[in-house]
Amino acid sequence: MTLLAPSGLRVAAPPTGARDESEPLIQVTGLCKEYPLAGGGATPVLRDVRLAIASGEFVALMGPSGSGKSTLLNILGGLDTPNAGDYRLAGQAVAALSPNQLANLRNRQIGFVFQGFNLLQRSTIAENVALPLLYAGVGKAERQRRARELLEQVGLGHRADARPNQLSGGQQQRVAIARALANRPPLILADEPTGNLDTQTSEEIMALFSRLNVEQGITLLLVTHEPDVARYARRLVRFKDGRIVHDGEVNV
Amino acid sequence: MSWHAAPAEAWRALGANRLRTALTMLGMIIGVGAVVLMLAVGEGARGTVTQAINAMGSELLLVSPGASSSGGFRFGSGTASTLTLKDAEAVAQLATVSAVAPVFHSGAQLVYGPRNWNTTVYGVTPDYLLVRSWSLESGQPFTLTDVRRGTRVALLGQQVARSLFGDQDPLNQTIRIKSLPFRVVGVLERKGQSLDGRDQDDIVMVPINTAQTKLFGNPFPGTVRFITVQARSAELMEDAEADIEQLLRGRHRLAKGVENDFTIRDLTAVAETAAQSARAMTVMLGAIASVSLLVGGIGIMNIMLVSVTERTREIGIRMAIGARHRDILLQFLLEALLLCVLGGLVGILLGMGGSQLVSELAEMTVIITGDSIVLSFLFAASTGVFFGFYPARKAALLKPVEALRHE
């Protein structure tokens, strides 16, 4: 598996023009999120969250169910909006973006990896991988070439025409990772990516993430329940009741 | 998403659930098929009427005698014997009139060899063929000399010729009309049905004098049953009508305030009415068929809504990896459009086949026009856009995070 060659595979410098090198990739301040209850009132999920992640970091988010870590991930990925607070991605205030700009952000700046893989079952895995390129307006020939290249990169070049349900869980997650890499985003958000996988496969997936982080400098933010998985990260953020209770070394 | 990639995606989505796609399309197929068929039937009816109008001759006025009365009983119009050959000759002198054909007709039994046939015998002048734009299939028309002399010559309509002669050539054969011998000098061209559904080919024409004096014995010598008048042009129809009225009132010495003892009918107006009702029928049939198209469209909306619900997660995934609102909108809109366009194409073929079947089984004239095909197709496509828009919009406006959470 070659990660440095061929050309163009390396992540480009942060995309939004000239910005302060010391500024973090993700900058969150005073972030609040609550979900309205059926009988009136609201459940707070995030309470005044403050978090900064620099470019090239590998961060694990841990915490009990309902502690708000997935909600934070959704907000960071532009899938959900906070009730209050400021979120800047690469210096850009995300709240100020139009729906189309937000879609563009998800398309080019962020790669998502989900617990349930979330592949389109009707499409081949090559088509799944090429889908972000389709929405980016890349031509057909280039889409196919790039999809094949990405599948090679995750070790599935020989299964390009298979359907997701013909692959094992680990293989499907590799496809999802290849898809997340399609537009060479600087940031990958993974929501319990090994939650559906056995230990050995989990290790393979985590090794792949580590390589992407080390060799391509991709910033990784990973939600997990499993201490074994969190150990691959270089920084640990613990959540409890919508607040960060630990931010620092991985000591699990 | 690029424009050329979207149709392929839509095609794949439709292919994923073939039975449902086929059933949804069936609504469209039946709708469009019905529109094509009904328009073809309506156009056919219109064509038949137009043909009948053309066969009738153009710019025609029909002058018939008024109602007769006897001892306080009034009979129907045309029963009086107030119109004469002299009236016809006088009308022919009018500047607004180009041809005049007085007619004296009655029913009679025809005999040729062992066969006989009952038909209407028309006593006419040579001009009758002119005003009715009726030509001969074979032989020669009789002349004014024949009319003056009361010669016993006859022109046979197609139906009469076939009934009496079968495949034999009737020319120069002698038939008997009311036991008087007549020589067949010509056979009339086929004319088809009249507007009121009579078979116009069931006719025999003889010189009018012959009919009046030798054949039917007229109680009022010189009277005719009606006079067909051709105006010089379509614009002069009303003038001609007024001229004839004035002339005949003068000739019949009708004082001011006395009712006309004749009636003048504008046959063009009659034809116009018939054409209008045929047009109305086309519109009505088309409208009825459109209802089934509407129902088909609602079926498509229904299925697309189900599809959006079923594929909420897929929509969420697409949004998570960068699909914009309009990408999702376009995707679902194209699916609906593709359903309608494919259904529409099949429906057009079905409608054409159905029209063929109707024309053969019901022996009706059907006319499939290019317009009706284009119209049905556009109708189908706009149904797709119209009924596809709401579900597509619903899909596009889903919140990514909620769509992703959908099971």
What is the pLDDT at residue A9?
Answer: 41
DSSP per residue, chain A: --SS-STT-SPPSPSSSS--TTS-SEEEEEEEEEEE-TTSSEEEEEEEEEEEE-TT-EEEEE--TTSSHHHHHHHHTTSS--SEEEEEETTEEGGG--HHHHHHHHHHTEEEE-TT----TTS-HHHHHHHHHHHTT--HHHHHHHHHHHHHHTT-GGGTT--GGGS-HHHHHHHHHHHHTTT--SEEEEESTTTTS-HHHHHHHHHHHHHHHHHH--EEEEE-S-HHHHTTSSEEEEEETTEEEEEES---
Whether complex ipTM tops 0.90: no
What is the pLDDT at residue B319?
Answer: 94
Is the pTM for the entire model greater than 0.90? no
Decide which of B51 and A27 is more confident: A27
Decide which of A49 and B66 is more confident: A49
What is the pLDDT at residue A1?
Answer: 40
Residue A23 pLDDT > 60, yes or no?
Answer: yes
Least confident of A111-115, A205-209, B1-5, B48-52: B1-5
Do the chains contact at A122 and B12, CB–CB below 8 Å?
yes
How many beta-carbon pairs under 8 angstroms link A with B? Answer: 68
Tokens standing for residue A126: 């090559």
Do the chains contact at B2 and A179, CB–CB below 8 Å?
no
A201 contacts chain B (CB < 8 A): no
Do the chains contact at A107 and B12, CB–CB below 8 Å?
no
Tokens standing for residue A190: 């993974």
What is the pLDDT at residue B130?
Answer: 87
- Banded pLDDT at A3 (limits 50, 70, 90): very low
Query: Out of B16, B399, B401, whose CB is closest to A122?
Result: B16
Do the chains contact at B324 and A77, CB–CB below 8 Å?
no
- Contact residues, chain A, for B2 at CB < 8 Å: 134, 137, 139
Residue range B347-392, pLDDT digits in tens: 999 999 999 999 899 888 888 888 889 988 898 888 888 899 999 9
Based on its alpha-carbon atoms, the radius of gyration of chain A, rounded to whole angstroms, reads 18
Residue range B119-132, pLDDT digits in tens: 999 999 999 998 88
What is the pLDDT at residue A7?
Answer: 41
Query: Out of B13, B319, B404, whose CB is closest to A103?
Result: B319
Distance between CA atoms of residues B137 and A170, nearest Å = 89
Residue range B129-149, pLDDT digits in tens: 988 888 899 999 999 999 889
The nearest CA of chain B is from the CA of A104 a distance in Å of 6
Residue A70 pLDDT > 60, yes or no?
Answer: yes
- Banded pLDDT at B219 (limits 50, 70, 90): low
Residue A152 pLDDT > 90, yes or no?
Answer: yes
Do the chains contact at B322 and A122, CB–CB below 8 Å?
no
- Contact residues, chain B, for A80 at CB < 8 Å: 399-401
What is the pLDDT at residue B376?
Answer: 87
Burial class (CB in 10 A: 0-12, 13-18, 19+), B82: buried
- Banded pLDDT at B254 (limits 50, 70, 90): confident
Query: Out of B314, B322, B400, whose CB is closest to A120?
Result: B314
- Contact residues, chain B, for A107 at CB < 8 Å: 321-322
Residue range B49-67, pLDDT digits in tens: 887 777 777 788 999 887 6
pLDDT over 90 percentage in chain A: 78
pLDDT over 90 percentage in chain B: 37
What is the pLDDT at residue B102?
Answer: 92
Query: Out of B313, B323, B404, whose CB is closest to A135?
Result: B323
Instruction: Judge whether A245 and A238 are in contact, CB under 8 Å.
Output: yes
- Best to test chain B binding among A35, A46, A74, A79 (most B CBs inside 10 Å): A79
What is the average pLDDT across A209-227?
94
Residue range B1-50, pLDDT digits in tens: 555 677 888 888 888 888 989 998 998 999 999 989 998 988 888 888 88
pLDDT over 70 percentage in chain A: 91
Select the highest-mean-pLDDT range: A18-22, A99-103, B262-266: A99-103
